[in-house]
Amino acid sequence: MTALIARDDLEARIRAAVAQTGGERLCAFAVIRSRSVTRFADSSIHQAFDESNIRIEFRSRGHHGVSVTAATSALDAPTLAQTAARVIATAPAQSPPLSAETSRDQGTHDDSGWSLATTASSHEERADALRAAFGTAAPAVSFAGVFGARTLSFLHLRRDAPASFARISKAYFNVFGVGPRGDEGFDGCAHRDIAELNIDASVRTATERALRASAPKRRVCRGPIEAILAPDAVEELMSWAAPIGFGGKMFVEGAGFSAGRLGEPMFDAALTIHDDGLSDDPLAVRMPFDCEGTPKRCVTLVDRGRVVGIAHDSTTADLAGTVSTGHAPHDDVEAGPLPLHLFIAPGDASVDDLVRGVEHGLWITRFHYVNGYVNPREGAMTGLTRGGTFLIERGKITDPIETARFSDRFPAIFSSIARIGAERRLIPSWLHDAAGSVVPAIHVRALNLT
């Protein structure tokens, strides 16, 4: 991956466009994305590519409930000025300012969430690493997945104020072991520093799960069943809870499951969740400010089972009578402000402890195609198991089961927690390039299978 443009050069070009355009409320938010991806299937690389893009968004700030943006991937001065001018031409001339406080650029330069090794990762290195990992695996299993490295740079500026800049990286490896009859076992790992990924371990785990999944499958009855949700499964549910429970848009509409219920006990008291884009945790993905330039706040969403916080941008904050928490979405996120950096407070149990604590239940490695729009007001979701789902009987993982569907309410799933794992993992979220949750495995008393 090569840098598309240096920070100083980008800033100078955008400043020139802002100055030339002259709008007092005009600000700019630029995202530079670079992604280098190796996709493989049947233990063979079938797609390898470098993707990059620049998106420079000019925004007219401070209008009551109005956001006017224009964005371009072009860096030449005329196009930038023209794009900025479009915002001025379109923005309402007389609209009251937001009552809530909006952005205040800090002039920060934050690349503590960035790793040179990740950005410099090459296709040759990744091909070599895959060859080595596959070479030691059981011959009955083939592998499919993705090994990628991405770098994102964010720049926010407005006239007469220092710009805020952040750069982050994320390396990720997702692998499905595929057994001789197509049974799958999944594992994955992610870290800002590609050198910290242990892809050999993930390949071993995926192999073990694929081989275990190849045994004759048993069926489980419909209805509630105890389950250990591995971190990938927990993250998938959390990613859906973000828009329907913890995001400002559905909250102010009254359509989400937390609306009107702040402070009420909704989950097991063992559950505490916060969102923190500023975390120094080496596992975390950092994103210190949002696209309005507002510094991220650490927001406690769930405190010992009670929903106590919501992620807001300036618009939803204004409607809710509060201040932005620094969660303004990029223009392409229709779901509104979302918490993208979730942390679930860990427990004290090892994975073995968790398994030993189940008399009859399921180990769920991950979910597939969860959808949280079944009934957002109730937090109703449905989805399927994937990548290795096994019975736990008398404290031991035993046989694989057929793909199972759950249909349940998010609050209900986490209303009765037996134990929470001590070890947490970074799981990238599908919500956004810069999203990732740090979550443990959780033993829930009842997941409703349908």
* Range 218-277, binding another protein (CB under 8 A): 224, 253-255, 260
Buried b (16+ CB within 10 A) or exposed e, 216-225: ebeebeeebb
Token pair 């009107």 in the structure block, residue = 260
Minimal distance in Å, beta carbon 181 to another protein? 12
User: Looking at 138-146, 196-204, 354-362, 390-398, which segment touches another protein (CB under 8 A)?
Assistant: 138-146
Cβ neighbors of 89 (< 8 A, separation 6 or more) are: none
Residue 29 vs 343, nearer CB to another protein: 29
Interface characters, 333-372, with another protein (x: CB under 8 A): -x---------------------------------xxxxx
Q: Of the two residues 109 and 261, which places its CB atom closer to another protein in the complex?
A: 261
CA angle, 431 as apex, 429 and 434 as ends, to 5°? 70
Choice from 331, 345, 356, 422 touching another protein (CB under 8 A): 331
Distance of CA 105 to the CA centre of its chain: 24
Q: What is the DSSP letter of 311?
A: B
217 binds another protein (CB under 8 A): no
CB of 374 to another protein, least distance (A): 4
Q: What is the Cα–Cα distance from 328 to 69, expressed in whole angstroms?
A: 13
- Rounded to 10 deg, the angle between the 77-90 and 7-21 helix axes is 50
Q: What is the SS3 string spanning 86-114?
A: HHHHHCCCCCCECCCCCCCCCCCEEEEEC
Residue keyed to tokens 């769920």: 364
Q: Which is nearer to another protein, 174 or 214 (CB)?
A: 174
CB of 282 to another protein, least distance (A): 24
E strands, 105-214, in order: 109-113, 142-158, 164-178, 184-191
- Looking at residues 367 to 426 of the shown chain, list those that interact with another protein (rule: CB under 8 A): 368-375, 377-384, 386, 403, 405, 407-410, 412
Instruction: Tell me how far, at minimum, the Cβ of 226 lies from another protein, in Å.
Output: 15
Q: Which of residues 100-129 bind another protein (CB under 8 A)?
A: 122-124, 126-128
Residues 149-208 close enough to bind another protein by CB under 8 A: 174, 176, 178, 182, 184
Least separation in angstroms between residue 396's CB and another protein is: 27
Under the binding rule (CB under 8 A), the answer on residue 7 touching another protein is: no
Let me know: does 307 contact 261? Beta carbons within 8 Å. Answer: yes
Contacts of 6 (CB under 8 A, 6+ apart): none
Q: Encoding tokens for residue 260?
A: 């009107």
Stretch that binds another protein, among 30-38, 103-111, 263-271, 272-280 (CB under 8 A): 30-38
Q: Is the CB of 39 or the CB of 356 nearer to another protein?
A: 39
Among 7, 25, 39, 109, binds another protein (CB under 8 A): 39
Residues 52-71 contacting another protein, CB under 8 A: 52-55, 65-71
Residue 60, phi then psi, degrees to nearest 5: -90, 110
